[in-house]
Amino acid sequence: MTAALLMINNERIALADDADLPTLIAEIMSAIDQGGAFVHIDGGRGDQYDVLITEATHVMVRHGSVSFEAGTPAGPWNSSIDLDI
């Protein structure tokens, strides 16, 4: 299975399965050429984003096979969860 992930600054957006990556990249480049503009992004699970893209925005499109990366969180293990409701 292939998937695409858009990373904008420190935000990760899982793209919709039918995302047109060449068009999205062209829209991002056009926004930069215009000195900044909002780009509409259809995320997975029906999420939608309007993102302001400028020449200072860090953008990366990652696409390929879906993989699961498991890791151990940094810091000491804590088996309890505290919730403030």
* Three-state secondary structure readout of 30-64: HHHHCCCEEEEEEEHHHCEEEEEECCCCCEEEEEE
Work out the number of other CB atoms within 10 angstroms of the CB of residue 24: 19
- Contact predicate 57/7, CB 8 Å: no
Q: What is the pLDDT of residue 12?
A: 92
Q: What is the pLDDT of residues 1-36, one digit of tens each?
A: 468 999 999 899 999 888 899 999 999 999 999 999
- As a whole number, mean pLDDT of residues 45-52 equals 92
- As a whole number, mean pLDDT of residues 37-44 equals 94
Q: What is the pLDDT of residue 74?
A: 60
Report residue 68 as tokens. 């699961």
Of residues 53 and 80, the one with the higher pLDDT is 53
**pTM (2 d.p.):** 0.70
- As a whole number, mean pLDDT of residues 45-69 equals 85
